Structure 1
Amino acid sequence: MLRTILILCAFAIGLGACQKTVPEYRATVYVFGTLVEIILRDVEEDEAKKMVASLQEDFQRLHKDWHAWKPGELSRLNATFAQGGTQKVSDLLLPAIIKAKEFEEMSDGYFNPAIGNIIAAWGFHSDELPKGSMPPLDKIKDMAAAHPSMKDVVIEGHMVHSTNPMVSLDFGGFGKGLALDMAEEKLKKMGVKHAVLNAGGDINTVGDHGDRPWVMAIRHPFVKWDVITSVELAPDEELYTSGNYERFREHDGIQYSHIINPATGMPVNHIVSASVIDTNGALADAAATALTVAGADDWHRIAKRMGLKYVLLIDEKGTFYANPAMKDRLKIPEGLNPTFVVSAPL
């Protein structure tokens, strides 16, 4: 996922500093393999610290039990699938499995959290970028030919099994969104009216900034740390971006993306960035991955199928693909003049 730049305040004329009119508490925790920035506005520091501690405890538990390759409940379930067994799952894991099945169906299979074995074969079940020789492509093609799918996962109450031993669940494509949705709801129950949760560029908001909208800038996919566009978010909107240029495998000068086409087992390289605005972070997270795989030819159909209203894709040539409503929200920096391919409305 991309780092998203939070534009939180304007420089005061003659002062060059942001002027706070209400308390603002910031904290950073490490989870899901990245830093999660938490910004709470209009919350006193002592109370904010307690809220952050509660969220951090939740994040750490989710990180452990939803992790695809480190010891935890999900990795135990994947081992059970490989052995053809059945496992009782917790109230924490079961909703994530149900969501995974829903999102695969909604995306017509472009989003498929059951291909963990293929992702692992490419070397992406690691905290570091994969190195060394290419994985055996014949083996990967055989894995894809086994068609692991969430449709193979059978849920009977809290008992779960797979009819396909090649199924291995990996929540990397929507786990952050689901976790941030849970955190957002918890903050609202605690009385928070204005907040941002930023997990490595995947953004959930609570309310607005207080006196204006939250403004988010999406990083330039070709110029590190530069901005290619920005958007204003309405209260409680989320912005999720999936990109192929931060996590990849490089071999002989070619970068192979961590985003895998479930049908072929091969990395997706045509779309370099996909951004989705929605009021549900898990859906936006999954959709950004699905639309990257769907590509320029099929993204609009999938976006409609998933009920999306705001989508932006950028291909390897820098061409923008967007629906009209999303195009109208984009603020392009001065000096940039991207080519747009504007779809029919969603």
Structure 2
Amino acid sequence: MPKHLHLLALLAAILLAACRPAEAPLLERRFIALGTIVDITLFGVDAEQADPVLAAVERDFHRLHHDWHAWEDSRLTAINTALQQGGQAPVPADLMAVLERARALNRSSDGLFEPAIGGLMALWGFHSNDLPDRVPDAAAIEAWLAGRPRMTDLELQDGRARTDNPRLQLDLGAFAKGVAVDRAIAALRAAGIDNAIVNAGGDLRAIGARERPWRIGIRHPRAPGVLASIETRGDESIFTSGDYERYFEAEGTRYHHIIDPRSGYPARGTASLTVIHTEAATADAAAPALFVAGDAWPRTAADMGINRVMRVRADGTVEMTPAMAGRIRFETETEPAVMLRELP
């Protein structure tokens, strides 16, 4: 090609590239709150619009971390102390709404999502920034079970919490991230941001898209990397509970932090359980509840209004609802054995 024609072609290519609309940049913010890394990703907005609401969301996460901490000084620990000493405590309006929501989810899960389990979590040593290294004495667990507290023991009325069970100690750890994520999404939408992901330690809610659906990876519970991926549709929360998140080993047995309130011991038979739901708070409560339910998880899922579930059993077999099977793409070289389970 003559030199001048080559230059003309190059110039035309540059002009075409300049005229082609550029993909809007992603804006990201990362911070630590509620004991995990929080990542917020926005698409299609500029920093001037995003910065004020991102700063407000981060402040809200930190406030909730301080107010709801289960073992460091917080509003929640003050309420727990008052309940233990006198049977009642004043509750701020925002926390009252959260406790009422937690109690409703406790009912729909038939007590498998149990925020009144704080005393048992402390007994196991999970109320610490360091992992425990020993199994509690069996007699201590039996004593806790003998007076087992339940959310149904908690009365919420006129801005006060009351109980006749001094063992009742609230722990919002299986619920707090979901509430905070929902609040963050509401704040982003109020600021006119419609395409975003709020990811708290791998549990997230995604709205909109980035010219293509957000693709979310589901961690493999027994190997490095991703077991499967899901493309989000519109507004969805994806939450996973796994026995690999906080655990210790003693005499060759893994003891994780997902405690079955019926037995007082870590739930067995499940390695990880993933749910999809619109609300992050509901998904956050449902994932551990279905994990604890074990083989009976379809009944609990139906009761909680969850129709997209993937359970990885301890033996590696994957169980899914038909609705979830239509959304999952396995990312492993060899697909696991899969069993479809209908909800009742």
Q: TM-score, normalised by structure 2?
A: 0.91
Query: Once the 2 structures are TM-superposed, how far is the Cα of residue 53 of structure 1 from its aligned partner?
Result: 0.8
Alpha-carbon distance in 1 for matches of 2:333, 2:248: 32
More divergent stretch after superposition (80-89 vs 63-72): 80-89
Corresponding residue SS for 1:93 = helix
Alignment check: 8 A CA contact 1:30 1:36 kept: yes
1:150-171 CA distance string (max 9 Å, x none): 0011111211111211110001
Alpha-carbon distance in 1 for matches of 2:22, 2:215: 16
Alpha-carbon distance in 1 for matches of 2:147, 2:259: 15
RMSD between aligned residues: 1.4
Q: Which has the higher helix share?
A: 2
Corresponding residue of 1:7: none
Query: Once the 2 structures are TM-superposed, how far is the Cα of residue 138 of structure 1 from its aligned partner?
Result: 1.1
Alignment check: 8 A CA contact 2:298 2:343 kept: no
Query: Once the 2 structures are TM-superposed, how far is the Cα of residue 112 of structure 1 from its aligned partner?
Result: 0.5
Alignment of 1:226-265 (within 5 A): 226-265=225-264
Alignment of 1:36-115 (within 5 A): 36-115=38-117
Query: Once the 2 structures are TM-superposed, how far is the Cα of residue 193 of structure 1 from its aligned partner?
Result: 1.1
**Which segments of structure 1 move beyond 6 Å, counting only runs of 4 or more?**
none
Q: Quick one: percent identity of the two aligned structures?
A: 38
Query: Once the 2 structures are TM-superposed, how far is the Cα of residue 177 of structure 1 from its aligned partner?
Result: 0.4
Alpha-carbon distance in 1 for matches of 2:343, 2:163: 39
Alignment check: 8 A CA contact 2:241 2:288 kept: yes
1:187-220 CA distance string (max 9 Å, x none): 10110010000100111112222x1111111011
1:285-318 CA distance string (max 9 Å, x none): 110000000002x100111101111001101111
Alignment check: 8 A CA contact 1:154 1:163 kept: no
Distance 1:115 1:334, change over 3 A: closer
Corresponding residue of 1:283: 282
Corresponding residue of 2:15: none
Corresponding residue SS for 2:330 = coil
Does residue 215 in structure 1 map to residue 215 in structure 2?
yes
Query: Once the 2 structures are TM-superposed, how far is the Cα of residue 93 of structure 1 from its aligned partner?
Result: 1.0
Query: Once the 2 structures are TM-superposed, how far is the Cα of residue 130 of structure 1 from its aligned partner?
Result: 1.5
AA matched with 2:174: G
Distance 1:333 1:20, change over 3 A: farther
Alignment check: 8 A CA contact 2:175 2:285 kept: yes
Alpha-carbon distance in 1 for matches of 2:22, 2:67: 39
Q: Which has the higher contact order (CA 8 A, sep 6+)?
A: 1
Aligned positions, number: 324
Distance 1:330 1:104, change over 3 A: same
**Aligned equivalent of 2:128, options 112, 126, 129:** 126
Alpha-carbon distance in 2 for matches of 1:103, 1:147: 18
Query: Once the 2 structures are TM-superposed, how far is the Cα of residue 334 of structure 1 from its aligned partner?
Result: 5.1
AA matched with 1:50: P
Alpha-carbon distance in 2 for matches of 1:309, 1:341: 15
Does residue 144 in structure 1 map to residue 145 in structure 2?
yes
Query: Once the 2 structures are TM-superposed, how far is the Cα of residue 84 of structure 1 from its aligned partner?
Result: 2.9
Alpha-carbon distance in 2 for matches of 1:172, 1:186: 22
Alpha-carbon distance in 1 for matches of 2:38, 2:200: 4
AA matched with 1:62: L
**Aligned equivalent of 1:28, options 27, 30, 46:** 30
Alpha-carbon distance in 1 for matches of 2:200, 2:104: 23
AA matched with 1:74: L
Larger radius of gyration: 2
Alpha-carbon distance in 1 for matches of 2:124, 2:269: 18
Query: Once the 2 structures are TM-superposed, how far is the Cα of residue 345 of structure 1 from its aligned partner?
Result: 4.7
Corresponding residue SS for 1:130 = coil
Corresponding residue SS for 1:276 = strand
More divergent stretch after superposition (329-338 vs 233-242): 329-338
Alignment check: 8 A CA contact 1:323 1:344 kept: yes
Alpha-carbon distance in 2 for matches of 1:157, 1:190: 33
Alignment check: 8 A CA contact 2:273 2:310 kept: yes
